[in-house]
Copies of this chain bind each other. A is one copy, B any other.
Amino acid sequence: MIPQGTSLIGQKAVTGGQAVIRTIDPATGVPIAPDYPGLDPEEVARACRLAWEAFDDYRESSLEARASFLETIAAEIEALGDALIERGMAETGLPQARLEGERGRTCGQLRLFASVVRAGEWLDVRIDPAQPERQPMPRVDLRQRHVALGPVGVFGASNFPLAFSVAGGDTASALAAGCPVVVKAHAAHPGTSELVGRAVQAAVAECELPEGVFSLLFGAGNEIGQALVADPHIQAVGFTGSRAGGLALMATAQARPQPIPVYAEMSSINPVFLLPEALKARGQDIASGFVASLNLGAGQFCTNPGLVIGVKGEALEAFVAAAGAVVQKSPAQTMLTPGIHAAYGDGVSQLAAVAREIARGVPAVGPHEGQSALFSARAADFLSSEALQAEVFGSSSLVIECEDLDEMRAVAEQLEGQLTITLQMDDADLEAARALLPTLERRAGRVLVNGWPTGVEVCHAMVHGGPFPATSDSRTTSVGSAAIRRFLRPVCYQNLPEGLLPEALRDDNPLNLSRLVDGKRE
């Protein structure tokens, strides 16, 4: 299949008349055909209206039908074959193995949500049977299930052209919840987006679902995204991107006559705390593990370790020397877009102005290659400097030297909200770790020990979320099966006759669900 340069509205391909997206191969700077004309505003509105019209039918589709749909999307994406991988490589500069892995993750994620839909835990059924004899007043029959919120607007991310894009985690979890999805494609990889969009479109047809269940919009600039969030038919938004972008969408969502939730995953520097005994015992190993995580994917991960905190002394000096030596040998890597590359350069320059340089990687050769960089600063300076605390998206990191464990805790306490915080620790560090843990829990969605934050497992226990400004809503996760909850709301049914009760709530439990009956798990 060859990308056509069109938006997809329901089952139709639509060519807009607005400003054009023209992408390039970041490794060479050469433009890639076709151009993607921006969609006209009335077509954006039509996609949202179609989604609304599909909503009541789609949300009440059977669990089996919805699960099959998700599996069909996965199969259709796989059926795109090498064309998808090749297009992704050309548009993103990411290597083949990474994109093949990401495709596996994306399809695995869709299949995970299929199993989640079938298991039905997300319905969170609660039944409080009538108590006609209760004194002083009888209790009526009350039953609760969760229903889908409504059509969801999803924004593709630049850094995961498959797993956080057209059929990524936001789309998979919204579709699983019973919400039609309208995706705004990211301008950095339009062909990849269209190919995946056509796979979803084919799955909608194959599963005989209402066409409005899925649409894919292209548009240069912010207008289409703003129109999507402002559209009265859209009931929630999923976004992964910059803090400025997320804040703008939150403002638009709040300014609507009916405000709606925005799930924006925005920024994180993913601090790593080096506890003293671990640092002493295995500083070299930690240094090489750290730089490997830092350089992964040219540092273009939300969970890239942008901050390392240790107590000053010989062990930290040895760690810094070792990490610096690995950084120096790190080849520059092509970044995703000219914009991201330029922003990385600016960020590194700003850091260089306020921090001490430890090492730079091998200089760039290609047009959009990012050169690794490692800096250091004293904790006291970090605590008083916004520039030192800012996220630099790419393979740059900052080592913070603390006077002692108390100052380390002060640094932890002053951190902004994070997606992850990592502890490098040995058994002898247990007391120090215990003292830090309450702070880390308050500051991050995921706390890791002796691992690296890059690599976000798609499973049931994952939290890819965290306190503001890591995300707009710390009560949720955008990765893992709990992500479905973002698109649900509870409804209580009081005294409904059996003939009117939703299947999930019937006495005979035809869906075989785990249910809370009078507060007890059955």
Contacts and interface: CB of A to CB of B under 8 A. Distances in A.
Contacts of A469: 258
A293 B447 CA distance: 51
Residue from A460, A469, A472, A473 with most neighbouring chain B CB atoms (10 Å): A460
A404 to B, nearest CB: 21
B462 A144 contact: yes
Nearest to A447: B493
Contacts of A489: 445, 465, 467, 474-475
A445 B482 contact: no
Nearest to A57: B438
Interface in A229-283: 250, 254, 258-259, 261
Given A438-B60, A475-B488, A495-B448, A461 B143 contact: yes
B143 A494 contact: no
A347 interface: no
Contact of A449 (B147, B449, B494, B514): B494
Given A445-B492, A446-B494, A482-B490, A500 B459 contact: no
A120 to B, nearest CB: 10
B461 A142 contact: yes
Interface residues of A, number: 77
A79 interface: no
A45 interface: no
A460 B519 contact: yes
Residue from A126, A147, A465, A481 with most neighbouring chain B CB atoms (10 Å): A126
Given A451-B495, A461-B142, A482-B126, A445 B490 contact: yes
A518 interface: yes
A438 B127 contact: no
Residue from A144, A437, A468 with most neighbouring chain B CB atoms (10 Å): A144
Given A116-B519, A119-B519, A139 B437 contact: no
A192 B445 CA distance: 40
Contacts of A147: 441
Interface stretch (A25-33, A208-216, A294-302, A427-435): A427-435
25 contacts: A60-B438, A121-B521, A128-B462, A140-B451, A144-B460, A144-B461, A144-B482, A147-B441, A149-B474, A149-B475, A427-B497, A430-B499, A434-B499, A437-B500, A444-B491, A445-B489, A445-B490, A445-B492, A448-B495, A449-B494, A449-B500, A451-B495, A467-B489, A475-B490, A521-B521
